[in-house]
Amino acid sequence: MRLDDFAEVDTPDGALRYANAGLAVWTEYSGHRVNGNMAWFDYRRGSIVVKNPDDEILAKMKQLAAELRAKVVGEEGEEY
Per-residue DSSP letter, 77:
S
pLDDT, one tens digit for every residue, the chain (80 residues): 999 999 888 889 999 999 999 999 999 999 887 666 789 999 888 888 898 899 999 999 999 999 988 889 888 888 88
Close Cβ partners of 65 (under 8 Å, ≥ 6 residues apart)? 71, 72
Spans of all domains in the chain: 2-50
Question: What is the pLDDT at residue 80?
Answer: 85
